[in-house]
């Protein structure tokens, strides 16, 4: 199976099904969003592209321009979203502005342990391909370190069932090849051969991407020097690979 797995009953790929579902869901959200923006006269606009909905807003400051003033919501059919549970969400600005009450929500959220493995395997692919997939890709290394700070990296590394589930899912829907054109083995990656530290041209490109993210304020106040970030990822890599060896 590949990332364009076909549904034999309907003769269409999962990507096509996802795009249709997203069009309906995104269209509904977009319609509601259009109405809310119009009623509140907010300087923002909504656009729908395939299975992705964008909320473009007017930024209060431009920064370096590396981060676009847009929020992206993806509605594809290739993500399981599991395991997940209900979580209470507060706005970052809640409690920071006197006299303003911000909304709260209780969505069903994918567990951080799966997020760790999703990001770790994305990093693994980059390290073997030695090329960036676009701007702001360094966020994955930053996020993995933050997940480790919160204790989720250890929990994810110990959950072998979850690790192998992510590997199986990515092998089916996100098949990739390394720089030498050999197929990337996700199962091997999560079972003792995870690579989180790039080398050569890859580390240079990643360092530049990270520096531009920091300069534009994308990482707020919890960014560290790039060398320290890579050192932390080296430690996380060693622990994840050791966790497999101990099972």
pTM of the entire structure? Answer: 0.81
| 24-39: average pLDDT | 63
| Closest residue by Cα to residue 33 from 60, 53, 59 | 53
Q: Choose the most confident range, by mean pLDDT, from 35-39, 52-56, 234-238.
A: 234-238
Which neighbouring-strand residues pair with 53?
A: 48, 73
Phi, psi values for residue 185, rounded to 5°: -95, 100
Q: Say whether pLDDT at 63 is over 80.
A: no
| Closest residue by Cα to residue 109 from 71, 153, 79, 146 | 79
**pLDDT at res. 29:** 61
Residue ranges covered by each domain of the chain: 11-79, 112-245
Contact of 78 with 3, CB cutoff 8 Å:
yes
Instruction: Give 171-216 pLDDT, tens digit per residue.
Output: 999 999 999 999 999 999 999 999 999 988 899 999 999 999 998 8
Angle at alpha carbon of residue 83, lines to 80 and 88, rounded to 5°: 110
Phi-psi region of 50 (alpha: psi -120 to 50; beta: other; left: phi over 0): left
**pLDDT at res. 92:** 86
Average pLDDT for the chain: 85
| Closest residue by Cα to residue 46 from 38, 56, 36, 60 | 56
Is 182 or 245 the better-scoring residue by pLDDT? 182
**pLDDT at res. 222:** 74
């Amino acid at each position: 199976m590949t990332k364009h797995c076909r549904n034999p009953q309907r003769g269409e790929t999962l990507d096509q099904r996802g795009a249709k579902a997203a069009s309906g869901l995104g269209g509904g959200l977009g319609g509601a969003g259009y109405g809310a923006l119009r009623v509140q006269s907010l300087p923002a606009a909504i656009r729908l592209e395939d299975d992705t909905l964008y909320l473009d807003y007017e930024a209060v400051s431009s920064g370096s321009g590396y981060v676009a003033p847009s929020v992206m919501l993806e509605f594809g059919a290739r993500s399981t979203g599991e395991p997940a549970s209900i979580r209470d969400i507060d706005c970052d600005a809640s409690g920071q502005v006197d006299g303003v009450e911000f909304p709260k929500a209780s969505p069903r959220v994918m567990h951080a342990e799966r997020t760790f493995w999703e990001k770790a395997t994305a990093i693994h692919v980059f390290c073997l391909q030695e090329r960036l997939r676009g701007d702001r890709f360094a966020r994955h290394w930053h996020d993995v370190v933050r997940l480790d700070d919160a204790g989720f990296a250890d929990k994810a590394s110990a959950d072998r069932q979850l690790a192998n589930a992510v590997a199986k899912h990515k092998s089916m829907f996100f098949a990739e090849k390394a720089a030498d054109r050999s197929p990337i083995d996700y199962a091997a990656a999560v079972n003792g051969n995870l690579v989180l530290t790039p080398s050569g041209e890859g580390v240079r490109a990643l360092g530049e991407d990270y520096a531009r993210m920091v300069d534009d304020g994308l990482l707020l106040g919890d960014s560290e020097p790039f060398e320290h970030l890579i050192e932390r990822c080296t430690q996380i890599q060693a622990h994840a690979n050791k966790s497999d060896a101990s099972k």
